[in-house]
């Protein structure tokens, strides 16, 4: 395979398109706006422990070329050499999504893989496509057959495990992505914003302030309730958080027509 073929392996090509971002379900998902996105590729699943292991074993935590300066300073100061749940058998199976990774670590892995993190708009489009579905799989209300989540954020779920990214193969997103609801939330490239009023033209939107500011996550997690499983639901965390709530998937931008 060519290098491009290698990078795009196990990714889904999302063609250039128009969709309506946001919803009336929450003020932070407003205003609803028509968005135009350029073509991109997105990982079919979140990055798994098996995939992330290549970064660890090939010296990713010791190579500053993969890291943004403040991220590099952060991992050196805190002597970080692997994800926070790397040796926890509730979360470290090969086909489970990697977790316990800060935004800095997600970005470093993405650069290592020749990719980047998705913008919020890219993530939402890959999730709901053009039919304005409520959840990645459609409009049926979620059950545990659809996703790993906690009904009403039940506190009895506080001791939990992640599940395989392939555990719900029938319930794909509009474009065919897996595990976009529950299990783990997913880091996005955008900094946190309280709504979408910053977006003026709706073309490949991204909200950037400072790398070290809070960043958006999408998709909910195993401790979140049904509401966070919606395609449009938003949340955000400090850039350095390494809890078992967050993983990530990557994108490739500037996908050429011949690759579609």
**pLDDT-derived band at 1, boundaries 50, 70, 90:** very low
Q: How far apart are CA 241 and CA 75, in angstroms?
A: 12
Strands of the sheet with 11-14, listed across from one edge: 11-14, 40-43, 251-252
Confidence at residue 3, expressed as pLDDT on a 0 to 100 scale: 76
**pLDDT-derived band at 152, boundaries 50, 70, 90:** confident
Confidence at residue 75, expressed as pLDDT on a 0 to 100 scale: 98
Is the pLDDT score of 155 beyond 60? no
Convert the pLDDT of each residue in 121-142 to its tens digit. 999 999 999 999 999 999 999 9
* Topology given in CATH for the domain delimited by 3-254: 3.90.1580
Average pLDDT for 101-119: 98
Contact 215, 182 (CB under 8 A): no
Contact 80, 50 (CB under 8 A): no
**How many other CB atoms are there within 10 angstroms of residue 155's CB atom?**
9
Mean pLDDT over each residue of the chain, to the nearest integer: 94
The phi-psi region of residue 244 (left if phi > 0; otherwise alpha if psi is between -120 and 50; otherwise beta) is alpha
Confidence at residue 154, expressed as pLDDT on a 0 to 100 scale: 62
Confidence at residue 6, expressed as pLDDT on a 0 to 100 scale: 84
**pLDDT-derived band at 156, boundaries 50, 70, 90:** low
Confidence at residue 225, expressed as pLDDT on a 0 to 100 scale: 87
Residues in contact with 103: Cβ distance below 8 Å, sequence separation at least 6, in sequence order: 71, 187, 215, 237, 239, 240, 241
Convert the pLDDT of each residue in 19-75 to its tens digit. 999 999 999 999 999 999 999 999 999 999 999 999 999 999 999 999 999 999 999
Tokens of 181: 């609801």
The DSSP result for 10-22, as a single string, is: TEEEE-SEEEEE-
**Bridge partner residues of 247 (DSSP):** 186
Residue linked to tokens 């799989």: 137
Domain boundaries, given as residue ranges, for the chain: 3-254
- Beta strands 185-191 and 246-247: pairing type? parallel
The DSSP result for 74-142, as a single string, is: HHHHTT--S-TTTT-TTT--TTSBP-S--HHHHHHHHHHTT-BPPPHHHHHHHHHTTTT-SBTTBSSPP
- Does the pTM surpass 0.85? The reply is yes
Convert the pLDDT of each residue in 162-184 to its tens digit. 999 999 998 999 999 999 999 99
**How open is the CA angle 192-197-203, to the nearest 5 degrees?**
90
**How many other CB atoms are there within 10 angstroms of residue 161's CB atom?**
15
Confidence at residue 260, expressed as pLDDT on a 0 to 100 scale: 47
Is the pLDDT score of 216 beyond 60? yes
């Amino acid at each position: 395979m060519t290098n491009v073929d290698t990078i795009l392996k196990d990714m889904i090509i999302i063609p250039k398109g128009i969709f309506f971002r946001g919803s009336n379900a929450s003020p932070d998902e407003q205003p609803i706006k028509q968005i135009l996105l350029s073509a991109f590729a997105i990982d079919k699943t979140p990055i798994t422990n098996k995939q992330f292991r290549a970064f660890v074993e090939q010296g990713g935590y010791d190579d500053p070329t993969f890291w943004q300066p403040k991220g590099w300073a952060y991992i050196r100061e805190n002597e970080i050499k692997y994800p926070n749940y790397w040796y926890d058998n509730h979360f470290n199976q090969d086909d489970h999504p990697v977790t316990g990774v800060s935004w800095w670590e997600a970005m470093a892995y993405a650069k290592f893989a020749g990719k980047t993190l998705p913008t919020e708009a890219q993530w939402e489009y890959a999730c709901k496509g053009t039919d304005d579905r409520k959840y990645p799989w459609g409009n049926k209300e979620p059950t545990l057959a659809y996703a790993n989540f906690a009904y009403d954020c039940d506190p009895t779920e506080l001791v939990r495990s992640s599940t395989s990214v392939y555990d719900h193969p029938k319930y794909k997103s509009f474009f065919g992505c897996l595990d976009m609801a529950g299990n783990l939330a997913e880091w996005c490239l955008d900094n946190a914003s309280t709504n979408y009023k910053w977006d003026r033209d709706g073309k490949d939107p991204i909200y950037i302030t400072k790398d070290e500011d809070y960043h958006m996550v999408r998709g909910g997690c195993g401790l979140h309730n049904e509401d966070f499983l919606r395609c449009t639901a938003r949340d955000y965390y400090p850039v350095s958080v390494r809890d078992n709530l967050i993983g990530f998937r990557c994108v490739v931008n500037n996908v050429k027509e011949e690759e579609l």
